[in-house]
């Protein structure tokens, strides 16, 4: 059986408690890219700049994919909200990561899954 399509037989609460979110290994990166290309509503070619891919899984089954990438150099709304003057922005932009892609695989239908996965995704990670 393919690890990406095996049905889950837990109740929703058990499933939500069993989820782990981990960085994608080099061996799994091609699968992550293929699934993102096949199922994400936005065009996916690659993550730009420094980036990291994550997979959310339960019992070895992939449930969702998350991609983080370097922040855009210019984003008017973000820059206004943060309020950094130009000299601070150039120094601190490297501290911001952009959630470039988030995909719950189409065969997965679990209430509150997205919130649970995002709450488990590490937020203080060095992008590489």
Q: pLDDT tens digits, residue range 36-51?
A: 989 888 877 788 788 8
Q: Is residue 7 part of a domain?
A: no
Q: Partners of 20 in the beta sheet? A: 57
Structural domain including 84 reads 16-120
CATH number at residue 92: 3.40.630.30
Q: pLDDT tens digits, residue range 92-109?
A: 988 888 888 899 999 888
Q: Is residue 49 part of a domain?
A: yes
Q: Is residue 10 part of a domain?
A: no
Tokens representing residue 88 in the block = 């601070």
Q: pLDDT tens digits, residue range 8-30?
A: 545 777 888 889 999 999 999 99
Q: Per-residue pLDDT for 6 more than 50?
A: no
Domain count, the chain: 1
- Of 64, 66, 44, 72, which Cα lies nearest the Cα of 53? 66
Confidence class for position 1, pLDDT limits 50, 70, 90? very low
């Amino acid at each position: 059986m393919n690890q990406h399509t095996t049905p889950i037989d837990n109740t929703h609460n058990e499933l939500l408690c069993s989820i782990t979110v981990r960085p994608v290994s080099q061996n799994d990166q091609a699968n992550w890219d293929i699934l993102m290309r096949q199922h994400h509503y936005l065009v996916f070619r690659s993550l730009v700049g420094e980036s990291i891919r994550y997979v959310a899984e339960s019992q070895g089954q992939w449930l969702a994919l998350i991609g983080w990438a370097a922040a855009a150099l210019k984003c008017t709304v973000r820059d206004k909200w943060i309020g950094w003057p130009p000299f601070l922005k150039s120094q601190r932009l490297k501290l911001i990561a952009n959630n470039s892609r988030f995909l719950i695989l189409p065969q997965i239908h679990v209430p509150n899954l997205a919130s649970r996965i995002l709450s488990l995704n590490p937020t203080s990670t060095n992008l590489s």
